[in-house]
Amino acid sequence: MIDYIKGEITELTPAISVVETNGIGFSINITLSTYSELLNSKHCKLYIYEAIREDAHVLYGFLSKSERELFLLLISVSGVGANTARMILSSLSAAELQEAIANENFTLLKNIKGIGLKTAQRIVVDLKDKIRKIEGFESTKTPVYNTAQNEALSALTTLGFQQTASQKILEKIFKENPSTSVEQAIKLALKMF
């Protein structure tokens, strides 16, 4: 199982990013929001969902683990495949989708290409309770983290610190100085535990 791919972006379209790492180019399906984030980048780290079918191995890439988790929840709904889930995440940000599900906003979901009223209702019914369990989800807006903050959070959780506590400390650090490097953020966070 591939958890993430980190490397140089050699090709980028609104639907696919080719990421080269160690001489291998991986063709990764992405959402429009991921495309807009990668537009001016030369390197990236994408969290991967690998769909292994009889006729193909297809990779889907996401900028954060929570976005990938949301994608996995969507494809667990009957009638929602990987491409439909990608379309949903291209039409709505992760925070907007979580809000729509939590608030039972069928109309917003129904306005997405390929989603009818029954599918929108099924998404809400199946995911309403599960959506609250996604790390960092609040009933208002989910905070948007920059790459340095995400990498620092990943490092702290790898070191064994609790994700929620680490997130709060990093939010404080990056609120005071948004241009803090990953290394500086980790050092400051370690002093605050």
pLDDT bucket at 43, cuts 50 / 70 / 90? very high
Say which residues have a Cβ less than 8 Å from residue 158's Cβ, sequence separation at least 6: none
Say which residues have a Cβ less than 8 Å from residue 35's Cβ, sequence separation at least 6: 12, 13, 14, 15, 17
Q: What is the pLDDT of residues 100-149, one digit of tens each?
A: 898 888 888 988 888 999 999 999 999 988 887 665 555 444 344 457 78
Name the CA radius of gyration of the chain, rounded: 17
The pLDDT value recorded for residue 146 is: 59
Helix (H, G, I), strand (E, B) or coil at 122: helix
The residues facing 62 across adjacent strands are 47
**24: pLDDT strictly greater than 70:** yes
Say which residues have a Cβ less than 8 Å from residue 11's Cβ, sequence separation at least 6: 17, 18, 25
DSSP of 128-161, one letter per residue?
Answer: HHHHTTSTT--SSPPPP--HHHHHHHHHHHHTT-
**Residue in the block written with tokens 């997130």:** 167
The answer to pTM > 0.75 is no
Phi, psi of 45 (to 5 degrees): -130, 115
In order of start, what are the domains of the chain with their CATH numbers? Answer: 4-62 (2.40.50.140), 65-131 (1.10.150.20), 147-192 (1.10.8.10)
The pLDDT value recorded for residue 141 is: 40
**14: pLDDT strictly greater than 80:** yes
DSSP of 3-42, one letter per residue?
Answer: -EEEEEEEEE-SSEEEEEETTEEEEEE--HHHHHHHTT-S
User: Mean of the per-residue pLDDT values for the chain?
Assistant: 86
Q: What is the pLDDT of residues 62-96, one digit of tens each?
A: 999 989 999 999 999 998 999 999 999 998 888 88
Q: What is the pLDDT of residues 149-174, one digit of tens each?
A: 888 888 887 788 887 788 888 888 88
The pLDDT value recorded for residue 145 is: 47
- Cα–Cα dist 52/58, whole Å: 6
Secondary structure of 71-95 in HEC code, one letter for each residue: HHHHHCCCCCCHHHHHHHHHHCCHH
